[in-house]
């Protein structure tokens, strides 16, 4: 899979992909992540990527030219399955959406800034608009990193133990059960006996029961259907 991220502040996207699982996924050749500095695509000498809104009002709007030139150049090089725009007014990201997107070939993610992009960018190029939650960030970069992370870790081969994605919270609309490691007792607080029993079947039943109880308590909305 290949993910091209178009950004006005590319430095914000460096560290999320430079460490740990996301870095390893790239080294293994499972995913290619390319960050594009929007200012490299401007055709004005000030490298300006925004302008005043027609009709007035507070806030700047990202102009169409550099975004269009960047997307068109990428599209000349390969086919893209989705051109995604990160925006607070998009569709709310879910694990189901990340699962679906992890099966795609190539995607472009455009990060918004200021008051957003000229509507014609959305009309002409964008196939999917995504928000990571009902709050407003200063720009789409952190949201793009969240989206890319949630997708990449689901691509087969990225996680060492493939079942570890399958047992994540939300993967089956349940929160994950509690987990414990050494020591078996800490200041009088003991690990549940059953986890030390070695009876794998009983442990799985316990975990499922805990997942259900936790979900009912903390996220009853997930159990509604």
The residues binding ligand ADE (CB under 6 A) are 86-88, 112, 131-133, 135-137, 140, 143
Of 129 and 172, the one with the shorter C-beta distance to ligand ADE is 129
Measured from the CB of residue 143, what is the shortest distance to ligand ADE in angstroms? 3
Measured from the CB of residue 211, what is the shortest distance to ligand ADE in angstroms? 28
Measured from the CB of residue 82, what is the shortest distance to ligand ADE in angstroms? 15
Strands 50-52 and 60-62: antiparallel
Distance CA 144, CA 189 (A): 40
Of 137 and 165, the one with the shorter C-beta distance to ligand ADE is 137
Measured from the CB of residue 140, what is the shortest distance to ligand ADE in angstroms? 4
- DSSP-assigned letters across all residues of 9-51: -GGGGTGGGSSHHHHHHHHTTS-EEEEEEGGGG--STT---EE
Q: Which residues, listed in sequence order, are joined to residue 66 by a DSSP beta bridge? A: none
Measured from the CB of residue 214, what is the shortest distance to ligand ADE in angstroms? 26
Of 16 and 112, the one with the shorter C-beta distance to ligand ADE is 112
Of 25 and 146, the one with the shorter C-beta distance to ligand ADE is 146
The residue of the chain with the least Cβ separation from ligand ADE equals 143
Distance CA 147, CA 10 (A): 16
Beta-carbon contacts of residue 211 (< 8 Å; ≥ 6 apart): 174, 175, 176, 177
What does the block give as tokens for 72?
């068109």
Of 105 and 133, the one with the shorter C-beta distance to ligand ADE is 133
Measured from the CB of residue 12, what is the shortest distance to ligand ADE in angstroms? 12
Place of tokens 């795609």: 104
Q: Which residues, listed in sequence order, are joined to residue 62 by a DSSP beta bridge? A: 50, 117
Contact indicator for 55, 119 with CB cutoff of 8 Å? no
Of 133 and 183, the one with the shorter C-beta distance to ligand ADE is 133
Q: Which residues, listed in sequence order, are joined to residue 190 by a DSSP beta bridge? A: 185
């Amino acid at each position: 899979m290949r993910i091209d991220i178009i950004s006005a502040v590319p430095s914000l996207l460096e560290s999320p992909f430079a460490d740990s699982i996301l870095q390893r996924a790239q080294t293994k050749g499972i995913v290619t992540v390319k960050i594009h500095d929007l200012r490299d695509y401007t055709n004005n000498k000030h490298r300006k990527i925004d302008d005043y809104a027609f009709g007035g009002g507070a806030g700047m709007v990202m102009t169409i030219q550099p975004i269009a030139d960047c997307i068109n150049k990428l599209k000349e090089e390969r086919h893209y399955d989705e051109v995604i725009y990160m925006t607070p007014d998009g569709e709310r990201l879910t694990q189901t959406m990340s699962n679906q997107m992890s099966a795609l070939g190539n995607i472009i993610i455009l990060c918004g800034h200021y008051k957003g992009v000229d509507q014609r960018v959305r009309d002409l190029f964008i196939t999917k608009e995504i928000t990571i939650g009902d709050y407003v960030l200063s720009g789409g970069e952190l949201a793009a990193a969240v989206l890319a992370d949630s997708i990449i870790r689901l691509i087969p081969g990225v996680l060492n133990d493939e079942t570890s994605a399958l047992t994540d919270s939300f993967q089956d609309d349940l929160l994950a059960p509690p987990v414990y490691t050494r020591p078996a007792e800490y200041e009088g607080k003991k690990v549940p006996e059953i986890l030390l029993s070695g009876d794998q079947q009983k442990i799985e039943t316990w975990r499922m029961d805990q997942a259900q109880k936790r979900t009912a308590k903390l996220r009853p909305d997930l159990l509604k259907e």
